[in-house]
Structure formats: structure tokens, C-alpha cells
Copies of this chain bind each other. A is one copy, B any other.
Amino acid sequence: MASSFFRDLLDQIVERGRALKAFSLGGGGHDGTIEALSQGLLSGRGESSGMVVARHILAIFDLLSDDEKTEYFHFLNDVLVPDDEALKAAAAAYLETPSRQQMMQLAKAVESPRQELFRRLNLAPGGTAQIVRMRAELLKRLKAHPELKPVDDDMAHLFGSWFNRGFLVMRRIDWSTPATILEKIIEYEAVHEIKGWDDLKRRLNPKDRRCYGFFHPSLVDEPLIFVEVALTRGISGAIHDVISEEDEAEALDPDTAVFYSISNCQKGLAGISFGNFLIKQVVSDLSKEIDSLNTFVTLSPIPGFMRWLEGLREAGEIDARELSLLDHSTWPSKKDAEKRLSDVLLPLAARYFLQEKRGDGKPLDPVARFHLGNGARLERLNWLADLSDRGLEQSAGMMVNYLYDLDYIERNHEAYAEQGVIAAASSVSRLVPAKAAGAVKERESA
């Protein structure tokens, strides 16, 4: 029961955040465009009224039209940049005398004033959340305006510092969590839709469910990422076993924790990675809390599989016999074809995971890259595991379990990162021709 004194700290942050919502642009005397205010905030030699100006800028930004926002981002991109002449001079000086001293001068000359602007905007109560939303706005525009990338780079760099894992807190989310958070869990669930409060309550039932999220002290009422876990006996291979299960079973002494959904919540934090830390912290905490647990697996989609299969088909690499299999609309009804299908598709899936690589030597599948990069092992391919429309279209109805074994994570991670070795259970690696075996690491222990 740590110093409870610190608990109160966050009240203020929360209050400050809420206070901002009540803020009206009324009588401030700080008129002028958002651009003028931004330059004023930056140039203010002291910090005297920084908080007020920062509030103004953020409040105005919220009120801008879409076009005006784009315009403001261009201002950030084009105007709030290092001074070209000074930078050239510093670069030339460094080339002439490549001393530590000159390097420092160069580092200063190249730092974008935008970064300092964002830091000062954060003076505003509730500013952190608003700056994160500002980046979400920016990201929406990057496709149409790739020239804005430098602004995004600066924001991402800053968020890397601000949302350092050392500043995050993992919290269990359950039925005694404030509704304002729960509402967001419903909203943000990205993998398997939560169909309202009753469905949510089922997913939080402490008998055999857990949910954990990362929070940041300065983001009011907002989870950054959360993971949903089912406690089971044995490894669950089908999502409907996990999700539609009736709320009656009492999981006695579960031996397995299944991570069946992990969702990022903040679009403005895209690219700042939390999932790896969250999964490992949950594995570590659950091991301590529930003695009977000995297996930690995900139940994951294979989002790129059918697209890859389609590519094979177009390239003529799948023979005619198998072509018809790709028409998944006929699958579930053809019970008799199931066996034949799995004989064909499972080895293809194994090949997809173990042998097909991108240019950088990493697997094609993005979910696989995430978990293998974390040091997890490809544990099991599950046939007929997700018969939802999306599951059929993307993954031929298959799902996959990645195993998080804390004793092997480090080793797996290194072998993957350095040599591209994919850790896989023998039941999976066995499905591909022997020639691939070299790149496949068998499980080393029970």
C-alpha cells in the first residue's frame, strides 16, 4: 500500500484536463491568428504567460476547419523550421572542424523549433491529450500531403519521450472501472467488436476473463492500449469458443491465458509501440497472481494470408485443383470438403509464415512480425477458427496461436532480430518441406 499521498496527484491533472473543456475564447485579449500566437509562444523569451497562450492556440486549433488545419500544418512544416543559413554555416563548420563542440552546434542548429512549440503547448491544462489529437489530424492528411512528413517525424520523436514506457501505468480494467473508461473500451475494441454493455460485462467477468490497459498520467480518462485475456484449460483455437461462450462456466484452475484481442486506442500515438510491453507485463503479473497458469498464448488473425494466396493464384503457382478453394463463400456449407481443404491450406499457411519473406527478410504477415519480434513462438495453426466474414476473407477462417514463454522470449527475439530465425512448434514446421527446416527453430523443451 504505497504512499497514498501520490494518488491525489493525478486528480489535478484530471481536473486540469476537464477545466479546459469549459474554456471559452471569451475575453483574453490574445487575438491574432493561430500562427501569430504560435510564433509568440515560441519567441516569448520567458515563460510568463505561456500557459494562457498555449490554451488559446489549442482551443483555436479545435475550431479550425479541415482546410485551415491543413494550412496550419503547412505553417508548422514551412515556417517553424531551422534557419537555413545558420544550418548551412554549422554544417560547413563541422565539416571543417569535426570536433565535439561543432557537433553540438550542428545539433542545435538542426533542431526544429516545432519541437519546442509542442513542448510549450503542453503547458496548457489538458494539453497532452490535445497534442495527441493534433497528430491524429496530421496523420489523416499524410497521404494527401506527404510533404508534411517532417512535422510528423517531430511529433513522433517527442511522443517517444513523453510516452516512454517508464511513464506508463498498467491498470486492470474490470466492472468497477469508471464508465467513462469502459465506454472507450467498447469504442476502441478493434479486433472483435463489443456489442454493448452486457457483452462488455461478460468480457470483464473475473471468473475467467481479464482486461488490462496502459494509461498515461496526463491523458485524462483515456487508455492507450488494452488487451483482453481469457483464462482457459488448454489452448483455445477458435475465437467463438472464447467470445460467444455463455457466462456460466467457472474456470477452475485455468492453465492457459489466451490473449485474444489487443487494441490501440489513440490514433495520434500511431507508431509509438506499447503492445510488446503490455503483453509481457500481463504475462508476468498473471503468472504471479494465478499459480495454475503455465501457458500464455495469443489467438491471432492472419490478416495477409488470403491476399498472398491470391497473389500465388495470379502468378499461377497454385495448380488448378486448388484454385476453387479460394472461393471461400462456398466453404462452411461444404462440410465434406473441409478435410480436403485443411490438407491443402494448412501447409500453405505454414509456408506463408515460415518461408515467405519481405525484402528485409521478415515474414509477410504483420501480426506475425509483431509477435515474433517480441520473442513469441508460432505455436499452432487453427483450422476453422474464425468463421466471421472478415475471418473468412482474410485468413480462410484460420487463426494462429503465438506462445509467450518468458524463458525463451529473449533467445527467440535475438535469433529473429539478428538472423531472421522464426521460432515455431514442430507441429507447424513439420508442415513445410524439409528444405525450410534450417530456418525454423524447433521448440526446445516442453
Residues of A within 8 A of B (CB): 1-15, 18, 44-49, 51, 77, 81-82, 84, 87-88, 91-92, 94-95, 98, 100, 103-104, 106-107, 110-112, 119, 122-124, 127-128, 147, 149-150, 153, 158, 160-162, 164-167, 169-172, 174-183, 196-197, 201, 215, 217-218, 220-221, 273, 276-277, 373-375, 409-410, 413-414, 416-418
Q: Are B82 and A103 in contact (CB under 8 A)?
A: yes
Which of B4, B128, B373, B417 interacts with A4 by CB under 8 Å? B4
Which of B15, B124, B179, B416 interacts with A179 by CB under 8 Å? B179
Q: Are B88 and A49 in contact (CB under 8 A)?
A: no
**Copies assembled:** 4
Q: Are B48 and A410 in contact (CB under 8 A)?
A: yes
Q: Are B46 and A276 in contact (CB under 8 A)?
A: yes
Chain B's closest residue to A94 (CB) is: B91
Q: Are B2 and A7 in contact (CB under 8 A)?
A: no
- A179–B182 Cα distance when bound, in Å, is 8
- Given contacts A4-B4, A91-B91, A124-B166, are A49 and B9 in contact (CB under 8 A)? no
- Given contacts A171-B9, A177-B179, are A48 and B14 in contact (CB under 8 A)? no
Chain B's closest residue to A115 (CB) is: B161
Chain B's closest residue to A124 (CB) is: B166
Residues in B with CB closer than 8 Å to A95 are 88, 91-92, 95
- A17–B256 Cα distance when bound, in Å, is 28
Residues in B with CB closer than 8 Å to A413 are 46, 48-49
Chain B's closest residue to A107 (CB) is: B110
Query: Chain B's nearest CB lies how many Å from the CB of A56?
Result: 13
Query: Chain B's nearest CB lies how many Å from the CB of A156?
Result: 12
- A162–B161 Cα distance when bound, in Å, is 7
Residues in B with CB closer than 8 Å to A127 are 166
Query: Chain B's nearest CB lies how many Å from the CB of A283?
Result: 12
Q: Are A119 and B410 in contact (CB under 8 A)?
A: no
- Given contacts A46-B413, A169-B10, are A175 and B180 in contact (CB under 8 A)? yes
User: Which 3 residue pairs spanning A and B have beta carbons closest together?
Assistant: A122-B166, A7-B7, A2-B14
Besides the contacts A7-B10, A47-B273, A91-B92, what 14 more A-B pairs have beta carbons closer than 8 Å? A4-B4, A4-B11, A6-B221, A51-B165, A87-B106, A91-B91, A95-B95, A100-B150, A103-B150, A106-B106, A123-B164, A124-B166, A128-B166, A179-B179
Q: Are B6 and A10 in contact (CB under 8 A)?
A: yes
- A9–B177 Cα distance when bound, in Å, is 12
Query: Chain B's nearest CB lies how many Å from the CB of A252?
Result: 11
Q: Are A7 and B5 in contact (CB under 8 A)?
A: no
Query: Chain B's nearest CB lies how many Å from the CB of A112?
Result: 7
- A221–B194 Cα distance when bound, in Å, is 25
Query: Chain B's nearest CB lies how many Å from the CB of A230?
Result: 20
Q: Are B46 and A374 in contact (CB under 8 A)?
A: yes
Q: Are B5 and A181 in contact (CB under 8 A)?
A: yes
- Given contacts A98-B88, A179-B182, A373-B46, are A171 and B8 in contact (CB under 8 A)? yes
Residues in B with CB closer than 8 Å to A158 are 161
Q: Are B180 and A176 in contact (CB under 8 A)?
A: yes
Q: Are A48 and B167 in contact (CB under 8 A)?
A: no
Query: Chain B's nearest CB lies how many Å from the CB of A103?
Result: 7
- Given contacts A98-B84, A166-B218, A169-B10, are A48 and B112 in contact (CB under 8 A)? no
Q: Are A106 and B91 in contact (CB under 8 A)?
A: yes
Chain B's closest residue to A110 (CB) is: B107
Chain B's closest residue to A218 (CB) is: B167
Residues in B with CB closer than 8 Å to A7 are 4, 7-8, 10-11
Q: Are B9 and A14 in contact (CB under 8 A)?
A: no
- Give 27 pairs: A residue, B residue, CB < 8 Å, sorted on A: A2-B176, A3-B180, A3-B181, A4-B4, A4-B5, A4-B11, A5-B177, A5-B181, A9-B10, A9-B171, A12-B169, A44-B417, A48-B276, A84-B98, A88-B94, A88-B95, A95-B95, A100-B147, A107-B112, A119-B160, A123-B166, A124-B166, A162-B167, A167-B217, A175-B178, A175-B183, A176-B221
Query: Chain B's nearest CB lies how many Å from the CB of A292?
Result: 15
Q: Are A374 and B48 in contact (CB under 8 A)?
A: yes
Residues in B with CB closer than 8 Å to A122 are 164-167
- A217–B81 Cα distance when bound, in Å, is 32
Query: Chain B's nearest CB lies how many Å from the CB of A198?
Result: 9
